[in-house]
Amino acid sequence: MVEVANAPAIRVTGLVKNYGEVHALAGLDLEVRRGEVFGLLGPNGAGKTTTVKVLLGLLRADGGRAEVLGLDVASAATEVRRGVGYVPQEITSDPYLSGRENLRFFARLYHLPDPRARSEEVLRQVGLEDAADRLAKTYSGGMRKRLDLGVGLLHDPELHILDEPSLGLDVEARVRVWTHVEELRKRGRTVLLCTNYMDEADRLCDRVAILDRGRGVACDTPSALKDGLGGDVVTLVASERDGAPPPDWAKLLGGLPLVRSVLADGLRATVAVEAGDRALPKVLEATVAASVPIASVSLLRPSLDAVFLRHTGRRLAEGAAAPAPAAGGRRG
């Protein structure tokens, strides 16, 4: 059996998995396109890890169908595993092997032509050359996670499944994981990223599916999901000029594309817009063209947390709060 080149990386239809009375997956539908970073966002118990285990053939679904790289997981699990690099939630490197031995061990299990050479390449890729001969049990949490990420890279698979890769990591290690995902994207690999960190999904993912109680409740780009809540808000405050009246904000901004409404309050204007990242330059251009001096400007965007709240009626678990890196922009 060979993988189907033009099939989506993952296609899941009506997936059901029950643990006794608990419905871990209750008819999940999902499609991940090739080359995208796709986020599965949801609180603990939403069904993310169960989905991953079904996709890898480690759990048998009670209903529905799962295809990975065009292969039916139920009948071709071994072929599926050959094309997937999996990084589990837990740190799983063997503590009694060195970093190098861990990689060589897995390289042999993937039947790579030159396990030694490939292990050295991956050691360099994940920045563990200097610690290669130390036992994994002496590594820090971040180093062990890098080693796990390295195991997922060994056979250079088409699809990478990362299950909560930054869970429990400090800020520095977390940024490294993010860089790792960005590099996979640059190399055209497909990534399925399970996370319950809002900022992680927002920053890294091309599209996000929000999971709740084993069901997908929303799926789109982070931007579109947030726009769906009613758009962003640009707040402008003009500088005070002696004797000059406040700007006529409604006339100035009301007709601009992407602007939904303008609420004027003297020097302050509260402007509801669609797609704030695209609307903001147009709003600023218009004010500059009208020679309105601006004292301050801010863009307020709804978070994915708000999206989750809208679709589920609940907030993501408090435990999902993560250490925030000091630097780094946001996507979408």
Partner 1 sequence: MTAAPPTPSVAFRRETLAQLARWFHHLRREPFNVVFTLTQPILWMLFFSSLMQEAKLPGMAPGTPYRDFMTAGVLTFTVYGNAMSGGIPLLFDRENGFLTRLLATPIARSSIVAGRFLYIEAVALAQTLLILGLAALLGVSVRTGVLGVLGIVLFGALLGLGLTALSLALAMWVRHHGTFFMLLGTLGLPLLFCSTALAPVDAMPTWMRWVALANPMSFCVDAMRPLVLGGGSFGRYVLSAAGLLAFDAVAVWVSVRVLKGKLA
DSSP 144-212: HHHHHHHHHHTT--SEEEEESTTTT--HHHHHHHHHHHHHHHHTT-EEEEEES-HHHHHHH-SEEEEEE
The Cα angle at residue 118 between residues 112 and 121, in degrees rounded to 5: 160
- Span 117-136, contacts to partner 1 by CB under 8 A: 118, 135
Residue partners of 143: CB distance under 8 A and separation at least 6: 99, 128, 131
d(CA 123, CA 209): 33
Q: Minimum Å distance from CB 215 to partner 1?
A: 24
Q: Minimum Å distance from CB 61 to partner 1?
A: 12
Interaction between residue 219 and partner 1 (CB under 8 A): no
Would you say 11 or 160 has its CB closer to partner 1? 160
Would you say 56 or 316 has its CB closer to partner 1? 56
d(CA 123, CA 44): 32
Interaction between residue 144 and partner 1 (CB under 8 A): no
Q: What length is written for the chain?
A: 332
Interaction between residue 110 and partner 1 (CB under 8 A): yes
Interaction between residue 19 and partner 1 (CB under 8 A): no
CB 294 within 8 A of CB 237: yes
> Binding-site residue total for partner 1 (CB under 8 A)?
38
Q: Minimum Å distance from CB 136 to partner 1?
A: 11
Residue partners of 116: CB distance under 8 A and separation at least 6: 104, 107
Would you say 101 or 277 has its CB closer to partner 1? 101
Interaction between residue 157 and partner 1 (CB under 8 A): yes
Interaction between residue 143 and partner 1 (CB under 8 A): no
- Span 21-80, contacts to partner 1 by CB under 8 A: 53, 56-60, 78-79
**Which residues form the interface with partner 1 (CB under 8 A)?**
53, 56-60, 78-79, 81-84, 86, 88-92, 94, 96-97, 101, 105-106, 108-113, 118, 135, 148, 151, 154-157
